[in-house]
A and B are shown apart, each in its own frame.
Chain A
Amino acid sequence: MIKKMVSILASEFEVEEDVITPEANIKETMHLDSLSLVDMVGLVEEEFGVEIKTADLPTIKTFADLYDYVYKNQK
């Protein structure tokens, strides 16, 4: 799952895969603002079938947080 996630995020947000490390900050690493964050949420829902609830979004700061969230919420 992690490998696929890294590949998809790197491709969509045009960053090198090796900067997407578990401890890296998502917004800073992929240069996301409030609008492009919406695209990341949509991408995760499309590719992994996990809807990130708006209320949960502030708790997802690093890529590790994202992997955990997807892992826990995948059906």
Chain B
Amino acid sequence: MEKNERRVVITGMGIWSCLGTTLDEVKDSLYNGYSGIIFAPERKEMGFESGLTAYVKQPELKGLVDRAHRVFMPEEAQYAYMATVDAMKMAKLDAEYMEKHDVGLLYGNDSSADAVVKSVDTMRNKKSTHLVGSGAIFQSMNSTVTMNLGCLFKLRGINMTISAACASGSHAIGLGSLLIKWGLQDCIVCGGAQEVNPFSIGSFDGIGAFSKRENEPAKASRPFDAQRDGLVPGGGAATVIIESYESAMRRGAPIIAEVMGYGFSANGDHISSPNVDGPRKSLLMALDQSGVSKDMIGYINAHATSTHVGDTNEAKAIYSVFGNNMPPVTSTKGQTGHEMWMAGASEVIYSILMMKNNFIAANLNYEYGDEDTGKLNIPSYRLDNHPFDLFLSNSFGFGGTNSTLVIKDWKE
């Protein structure tokens, strides 16, 4: 294993999202301004204030994973499996290589509610623990994604779940990049997963965080727009395979992009309301770690979730760093809703797809900014023939955890 400050490159990507289940589908959805948001009436029957959600197709694992293992996999592990199969294929990571080398696994996830709820229902109704089934314990643990993927793909490197609320997926890539940079791992499967079932976010709905624009689902998630009224929950999974430049070259893997830097911080403040200083520190650290000038950033993929205070404070943080020399800033959450634990990883993929195809998707539903968001350079229309080769991606989470990644295009 090589040592000392190695370059970290991305060699594989896979995604299972409301915008599509292949990279091509997702790229087309981004390009066409497709919204993955629907109104789900059954949520109203459950007492939800908002019945809005992203629609994520359920994968069919029968025939791919045997029954004995499928029972261990909640929906988010299934999404992650599908995304990871594609990412490994792209990265040319095969079973033989993974058997002989210590490939790591760091995946963002911060809940697995469905199995918990169903187990408790069984215990209450039937006064029995064994009737909950053999899979329940493995489905209900927060580390369910990494325990499942680690066993299914026989991964032997670092293996753990990164739980950092809505910054989980971003921190997973960031922390993975440090392990590779420092020579502790050669290759790590990173990503983020998010369950979509109503049990997982009922309590989030209960604090009034979701948009109530139920008569216009495609217009409900409107990051940075003056008329935004809350986020829309989404989900799925996104896998990003990162490795050292030397490892990629040695394996003959395709290099897609380079992870230039990772910044992080914590607000040490309110549990749900973000501030400005924390995100600003994360942005500045990512730029510093990348060794690039802020003038070189061609695109900012914002965390902005379509909540009033969150978008406002992120806008202030971005403006405080970039001032009037502002690259285009968008939040792809206008199309996807908030993919939460998954978002930091999926948004790296969305941004790379746009970077590789020379466009920046419109910040969907952005019509007019407010006093703070209006200071940013937010395109309400798609920017075509708009090449850029360096972007910054923000992810911020409850409890005030912040993560920022700087990614550079890789051209042969």
Binding site for B on A (CB under 8 A): 12-14, 31-33, 35-36, 38-39, 41-42, 45-46
Contact = CB atoms under 8 A, between A and B. Distances in A.
B67 A42 contact: no
A46 B131 contact: yes
Give the bracket for the number of chain B residues in contact with chain A. 10 to 19
Nearest to A39: B134
Contact of A38 (B62, B66, B67, B133): B133
Contacts of B131: 42, 45-46
B130 interface: yes
Contact of A41 (B66, B68, B71, B130): B130
Given A38-B133, A39-B71, 11 more contacts: A12-B67, A13-B67, A14-B62, A14-B66, A14-B67, A31-B66, A32-B68, A33-B68, A36-B71, A36-B134, A42-B133
Interface in B63-92: 66-68, 71
A50 to B, nearest CB: 13
Interface of B: 62, 66-68, 71, 128, 130-131, 133-135
A13 B133 CA distance: 13
Contact of A39 (B62, B66, B133): B133
Q: Is the interface of B mostly helix, strand, loop or mixed?
A: loop
A14 B135 CA distance: 16
Contacts of B130: 38, 41-42, 45
A36 to B, nearest CB: 5
Contact of B68 (A31, A42, A46): A31
Contacts of B133: 38-39, 42
A55 to B, nearest CB: 14
A38 B128 CA distance: 12
A19 to B, nearest CB: 15
A20 to B, nearest CB: 15
Contacts of A32: 68
Contacts of A31: 66, 68
Contacts of A33: 68
B92 to A, nearest CB: 31
A54 to B, nearest CB: 9
Contacts of A41: 130
Q: Report which residue of B66, B67, B128, B135 has the largest number of chain A beta carbons within 10 angstroms of its beta carbon.
A: B67
Contacts of B68: 31-33, 35-36
B152 to A, nearest CB: 15
